[in-house]
Amino acid sequence: MTAQDYLDARSKHRLTVDEFLLLDREGAFGDRRTELFDGEVYYMSPKHRPHARTVTQFVIALAKALEGSKLSVLTDISVRLSDHDVPEPDIAVTDAPQGDGILPLDAVKLLIEVADSTLPQDMGLKAALYAGAGVPEYWVVDVNGRAIHQMWAPRPEGYAERREVTLGAQVEAATVAGLAVETSDD
Give the residue extent of every domain in the chain. 48-182
What phi and psi, each to the nearest 5 degrees, are found at residue 80?
A: -85, 105
CATH number for the segment(s) 48-182? 3.90.1570.10
User: What per-residue confidence (pLDDT) applies to 155?
Assistant: 97
In the Cβ-directed half-sphere of 136, how many Cα atoms lie within 13 Å? 14
Report whether pLDDT(12) > 90.
no
CA nearest neighbour of 36 among 80, 90, 100, 94: 80
Q: What percent of the chain has pLDDT over 90?
A: 75
In the Cβ-directed half-sphere of 143, how many Cα atoms lie within 13 Å? 21
pLDDT in tens, 57-68: 999 999 999 999
Report whether pLDDT(7) > 80.
no
Rounded mean pLDDT, 2-8: 63
Cα 159 to Cα 91, 108, 147: the distances in Å are 19, 16, 18
pLDDT in tens, 84-132: 999 999 999 999 989 888 999 999 999 999 998 889 999 999 999 999 9
